[in-house]
Amino acid sequence: MTNLYAMLAIFAKAYGLFIFIGLSVAVIAYAYWPANRERFRKAAKAVLDEGEEDKPWR
């Protein structure tokens, strides 16, 4: 049990930082990726324009 605790603690303390840095880089890259810009712009506008009538698309 102590060993398991020690192992997990070391893993969390040593690698946690890098995992989180990696994740934040990935998220920011995704959000700012130039190719995604158009998609996000469309998505933000799409909820305001859900078609003339309140009904499903097909």
Partner 1 sequence: MKEIIRTLTTGERQAALAIAICVTVIGLTMAALGNGDPFGIHGYVVMAYGLVATIFLIRCYNLPPSNVDRAGSYYDEPIKVAVVFSLAWAVVGMLFGLWAALQLAWPSLSFDLPWSSFGRIRPDHTTGVIFGFGGNALIGTSFYVVQRSSRARMPDQVAPLFVVLGYNLFCVLGATGYLMGVTKSKEYAEPEWYAGLWLVTVWIVYLIIYLRTLARRKEPHIYVANWYYLAFIVIVAILYVVNNLAVPISFTRAKSYSLFGGVQDAMTEWWYGHNAVAFFLTAGFLGMLYYFMPKRAGRPIYSYRISIISFWGITFFYIWVGSHHLHYTALPEWVQILGMSFSLMLLVPSWASAGNALMTLNGAWDKVRDDATLRFMMVAAVFYGLTTFEGSFMAIRPVNSLSHYTDWTIAHVHAGSLGWVAMITFGSLYAMVPWVWKKPSMYSPRLVEVHFWCALSGAVIYVLAMWNSGILQGLMWRTYNEHGTLAYSFVDSVVAMHPYYIARALGGLIFLIGVLVCCYNVFKTVRTPVDAFGPARRKVEDALGPVPLPRPASSPLPRPAE
User: Contact positions toward partner 1, by CB under 8 A?
Assistant: 9, 13, 20, 23-24, 27-28, 30-32, 39-48, 50-51, 53-58
Residue 54 C-beta: closest distance to partner 1, Å: 3
Residue closer to partner 1 (CB basis): 3 or 51: 51
Looking at residue 22, its amino acid is G
- Distance CA(18)–CA(4), nearest Å, equals 21
Using CA atoms, how far apart are residues 39 and 34, in angstroms rounded to an integer?
10
| Closest separation in Å from C-beta 13 to partner 1 | 7
